[in-house]
Amino acid sequence: MRIWLINAWEPLAWIGSKQRPLRTTLLARALIAEKHEVTWFTSTFDHMTKTPRPHSQPIETLPGGLNVVYLEGMPYKRNIGLARIRNHYQLGKAFNRVAPGLAKPEVILCPSTQLELSCGAIAYANKRHVPVVIDIRDWWPETFYLTAPKATQRLAKIACWPYEVLIRKACRGATAITAITEEFVNWGLAKAGRARKPFDRAFPHAYPAAPAPAAELAAAEKFWSEHNVGTAADELVCTFIGGVSHLLEVTAVLEAARLLEQKFPKAKFVVCGGGDRLDGFRKQYADLDNIVWPGFINHAQIQTLLRKSCLGINPLRDRPDFLARACPKKSDFGICIRRNDRAH
């Protein structure tokens, strides 16, 4: 089966990449293993690292059989802003130019977070009678005005109305709606204005169960030893892996580290990932020795870190989209605790 995957913001974490494979990469690997022909439409700009994505030609086949189509889009520095809106508009236009010249797929999967691109894919699919699935990853455009201060949310909602039109159009035009939780599927169905059908389903985020290769795990152990993480038997390792941005309550985590530095010196906070607030936070909390900033980490480094960790932190804000995404019960900051087999 010829399948198109359309996702311009996820890392193209293919063979030889140092980036961690996410939802689209894992799906592409599974499909190729089942002998499907997979083409991934992505951007020439890497959303995660905010750098140009290396490529030798507009369309290329990577080792392992993945076909990649690179769509031109201007760079941007912030996740929310006019520059990113311009980038998404350009990606949609680029898809409309490139797609008609390629062999017609038998199914298309596109995200809800790049609406110009997704609407272009859905229009292409509907015109050619190709089944198309929209995968709900965020509540766009609600994410934009939920992020705004309460005093300006009404104005932000009005400003986001064109995107509200696009998400409703995308959900109505999709053959099926998938999402990361059942609540997100229901949100997409509400935008589509229809009842659930058999192919409307939730597929939670998942990761490979198999451990990383021994050589990579050994390198990861050395990596954490160099960062002085998990080296003491009685150390309480508190781990955050995610986006260091204004979308999450990262400040509360860092203030907890400041509070515990003197009162409980055995606690160590490992803040992994990148984001638009990372540099500012590192400067603001540079005086704390109990915070480690390793940046982006790979699959093996995550596995070894989680084995060393006693507490995982998911600092969600009190927002309906975040609570529907990950937390079965409402909490102040979405702190999830899971002890390993070490005593504390």
Cα(334)–Cα(344) distance, integer angstroms: 22
**What is the distance between the alpha carbons of residues 1 and 7, in angstroms, rounded to a whole number?**
19
The owner of tokens 């894992």 is 26
Confidence of residue 339 (pLDDT cuts 50, 70, 90): very low
Q: What pLDDT, on a 0 to 100 scale, did the predictor assign at position 284?
A: 96
Mean of pLDDT values over 152-161: 86
What is the CATH topology of the domain spanning 214-336? Answer: Rossmann fold (3.40.50)
pLDDT at 202 over 80: yes
Residue range(s) in the chain whose domain bears CATH number 3.40.50.2000: 2-202, 214-336
* CATH topology for the 2-202 domain: Rossmann fold (3.40.50)
Start-to-end Cα distance in the chain: 52
Q: What is the pLDDT of residue 56?
A: 82
Ranking 110-119, 291-300, 308-317, 319-328 by mean pLDDT, the lowest is 319-328
For 225-234, write each residue's pLDDT tens digit: 999 998 888 8
Confidence of residue 342 (pLDDT cuts 50, 70, 90): very low
Q: What is the pLDDT of residues 63-114, one digit of tens each?
A: 999 999 999 999 988 777 788 889 999 999 999 999 999 999 999 999 888 8
Q: What is the pLDDT of residue 234?
A: 86
Q: Which pLDDT score, from 0 to 100, does residue 330 have? A: 39
Q: Report the residue count for the chain.
A: 344
User: Can you give the pLDDT at residue 332?
Assistant: 37
**What angle in degrees, to the nearest 10, is found between the helix axes of 299-308 and 214-226?**
60
Which H helix or E strand runs over 336?
strand 335-336
The DSSP line for 187-245 is HHHHHHTS---TT-EE------SSPPPHHHHHHHHHHHHHTT-S-STT-EEEEEES--S
pLDDT at 336: 40
Residue 17 has pLDDT above 80, yes or no: no
The predicted pLDDT at position 270 comes to: 97
Write down the pLDDT at residue 326: 55
